[in-house]
Amino acid sequence: MKDTGVVRRLDELGRITLPMELRKTLHLQERDALQIFVQEDKIILQRYDPCDIFTGESEDLVDFKGKKVSKNSIRKLAQLAGLRIEEE
């Protein structure tokens, strides 16, 4: 992990501001989505990359009840359920 030397305080709503230099370096734009992870006593921010909830694939995604599922997973689930899917 690389130390940036930047220290920020939380505001009254628990927010922090990422410095402009850091946003430029990481090519972050206003309204970009970030995922938040916790590892022991560390908070890790990572650019959000939607992926299949079953396999982690990030191609051919379909939104199902707020979750991302790849078409490949849907085919496999249909097979498990004994359903036959006709390809387009």
Task: For the beta carbon of residue 88, count every other beta carbon within 10 angstroms.
Answer: 3
- Give the pLDDT confidence of 38-69 residue by residue, as tens digits: 999 999 999 888 899 999 998 999 999 999 99
- Spatial neighbors of 73 by CB under 8 A, at least 6 apart, are 52, 54, 55, 57
Beta strand 42-47 with 34-39 is antiparallel
71 in helix, strand or coil? helix
Domains in the chain: ranges and CATH: 1-48 (2.10.260.10), 49-88 (no CATH)
Mean pLDDT, residues 68-73: 94
pTM over 0.75: no
